[in-house]
Chain A
Amino acid sequence: MKKHLSAKTKWLIVIAVLLAGLITVTAAVGATHPGENAVQVMLTPFRSAASAIVRQVERFYDYISRYESLQAENEALRKQIIAMEEDVRSADSLQRENERLHQLLGLSEEHEDYHRVSAYIISWVDSSWKSAFTIGKGTNSGIEVGHVAITEYGQVVGLVTEVGPNWATITTVLDSALGISATVASTGYNGVVEGALATGSEGLLRMNYLPTDSVLRNNDQVLTTGSTVYPRGLIIGYITDAGFDQTGVAKYALLKPAADLDDLEQVFIITDYENQ
């Protein structure tokens, strides 16, 4: 076979190896490669168009396949609305009383001002070992590396890890590379939430370094504790299981992510916030 390899072919193999080495060195430095930026900028309109078509097809498919179940759900919701309207009438009077008492005591509501940029997901990383996606907005919309992506309900989706003029890569909470300082809402136990992708528990999160005497219940809500990166009080997930880690000196909990990443189409990037 060696005699069939021409000099030009051998040179091509050498060039391929050199290019791979060059890209590895650039990646090791930590900078976004100019080639990557150029390709991502060029691909963004095509990806936006492709993902828009896919979204429409999926919506149409959902509409067809779920028509009967939606009808039944609609009927149940109608009954629920009638019952709730009754509750609202009684709640209205309680609300008015609550507002009066609030004013009387001079309490101010705790609230964080999030400056958000909405963006559609245009592509996903095609590796089974990494959970990340690309959105069709970037530095032109004020997005920077380190910004947090959430859903419209304030559920953590991930972190911006790469950005270009009209694109940004968001590594999701499922990826093992992310670590988020978190707290169990009902009990106040603190820990670090990491993606369980690499441990064989795909689709789940793992909250590590919990105290050994911590009491954890299923469906307990886990929130961000607040840091320079993550605003306080964002919902990360719900506890589904717990146990002792390999060392035996700490507990861990498995969480179901609050954000439904499988059906995610749009995310909101927090570009600025005031932690009060």
Chain B
Amino acid sequence: MLKYFHLTKRQWQGILKWSLYGLLTLLVVLLQTSVLAKRPILGTKLAPLPALIVCVCVREGPEKGGIYAILAALFWCFSGADFGNLSVAVIPIGAILSAVLCRAVLTLRFLPTALCCLAVTLLNASVIFLFKLILPPTVALENYWRILLPGVGLSMVFVPLHYGLVKLIGRIGVQDAL
């Protein structure tokens, strides 16, 4: 089969890895929009997608991960996200900077990745909230700690799962490269 498509084993593993990342992204988008968005918890809707984007970007590095982050954020925006245009800029920039920070200063372990997930999810939600404060119909400022902060906190429940799955998928091709 590899010969049929003129692919090397390494290229084939790359395609498999990124296809699995794509599938995981699709599943998280479906979870977020078809399951979690229907039933708000404590008056807030959970958003596990930004954390997944950060996990992949940190694992794959700022360049390949950055391209993935832009495509995933675009996909989320076009799937009907509220103020998705802001997320197209905020999430990839946050994810790229997280990847650079983790590789240069921190490590690729769980805790630094989880902290980056929290920071990017909070930044994205806060930027959207800022625009909601300015543009009509405006929201009340008290909603920031009453709805936004619990929502961001609860969304972090998914980070261990994201981290584990991304680590598992990220291993594809690593053994052969060594």
B30 near A1 with CB under 8 A, answer no
| Residues of chain A contacted by B35 (CB below 8 angstroms) | 50, 54
Complex CA distance for A189 and B116, rounded to whole angstroms: 54
Complex CA distance for A19 and B6, rounded to whole angstroms: 34
A83 within 8 A of B: no
A127 near B70 with CB under 8 A, answer no
B104 within 8 A of A: yes
How far does the Cβ of A47 sit from chain B's closest Cβ, in whole Å? Answer: 5
Main secondary structure of the interface of B (DSSP, over half): helix
B79 near A23 with CB under 8 A, answer no
| Residues of chain B contacted by A129 (CB below 8 angstroms) | 82, 128-129, 132, 139, 143
A39 within 8 A of B: yes
Complex CA distance for A19 and B91, rounded to whole angstroms: 12
A134 near B80 with CB under 8 A, answer yes
B139 near A198 with CB under 8 A, answer yes
Bitwise interface map of A from 17 to 52 toward B, beta carbon under 8 Å scored 1, else 0: 101100110010000010110111001001100110
B93 within 8 A of A: yes
| Residues of chain B contacted by A54 (CB below 8 angstroms) | 34-35, 38
| Residues of chain A contacted by B74 (CB below 8 angstroms) | 19, 35
| Residues of chain A contacted by B101 (CB below 8 angstroms) | 1
B140's nearest neighbour on chain A, judged by CB, is A200
| Residues of chain A contacted by B96 (CB below 8 angstroms) | 9, 12-13
A128 within 8 A of B: yes
Stretch of B7-15, B39-47, B107-115, B160-168 on the interface side: B39-47
| Residues of chain A contacted by B147 (CB below 8 angstroms) | 128
B37 near A1 with CB under 8 A, answer no
B100 near A124 with CB under 8 A, answer no
Complex CA distance for A12 and B67, rounded to whole angstroms: 7
B43 near A124 with CB under 8 A, answer no
Contact (A1, B100) CB under 8 Å given A8-B63, A40-B78 = yes
A15 within 8 A of B: yes
Contact (A47, B78) CB under 8 Å given A13-B96, A128-B147 = no
Select one of B62, B89, B104 contacting A19, CB under 8 A.
B89
Contact (A51, B34) CB under 8 Å given A4-B103, A202-B43 = yes
Select one of B45, B63, B86, B138 contacting A128, CB under 8 A.
B45
A51's nearest neighbour on chain B, judged by CB, is B34
Select one of A46, A124, A169 contacting B37, CB under 8 A.
A124
Contact (A23, B33) CB under 8 Å given A13-B92, A16-B93, A127-B45 = no
Select one of A20, A126, A169, A202 contacting B32, CB under 8 A.
A126
**B75-104: which have CB < 8 Å to A?**
75, 77-86, 88-89, 92-93, 96, 100-101, 103-104
Complex CA distance for A12 and B70, rounded to whole angstroms: 8
A16 near B78 with CB under 8 A, answer no
B85 near A128 with CB under 8 A, answer no
| Residues of chain A contacted by B77 (CB below 8 angstroms) | 23, 36
| Residues of chain B contacted by A36 (CB below 8 angstroms) | 77-78, 80
Contact (A128, B151) CB under 8 Å given A13-B96, A19-B88, A47-B34 = yes
Bitwise interface map of A from 112 to 128 toward B, beta carbon under 8 Å scored 1, else 0: 00000000001111111
A178's nearest neighbour on chain B, judged by CB, is B137
B30 near A15 with CB under 8 A, answer no
A176 within 8 A of B: yes
Complex CA distance for A20 and B77, rounded to whole angstroms: 10
B20 within 8 A of A: no
A37's nearest neighbour on chain B, judged by CB, is B78
A40 near B79 with CB under 8 A, answer yes
B89's nearest neighbour on chain A, judged by CB, is A20
B62 near A6 with CB under 8 A, answer yes
Complex CA distance for A51 and B26, rounded to whole angstroms: 14
How far does the Cβ of B58 sit from chain A's closest Cβ, in whole Å? Answer: 13
Complex CA distance for A46 and B28, rounded to whole angstroms: 12
Give the top 4 A-B pairs by smallest Cβ distance, nearest first: A127-B82, A176-B137, A20-B89, A124-B37
Question: Chain B: residues with CB nearer than 8 A to chain A?
Answer: 26, 29-30, 32-40, 43-47, 62-63, 66-67, 69-70, 73-75, 77-86, 88-89, 92-93, 96, 100-101, 103-105, 128-129, 132, 137-140, 142-143, 147-148, 151
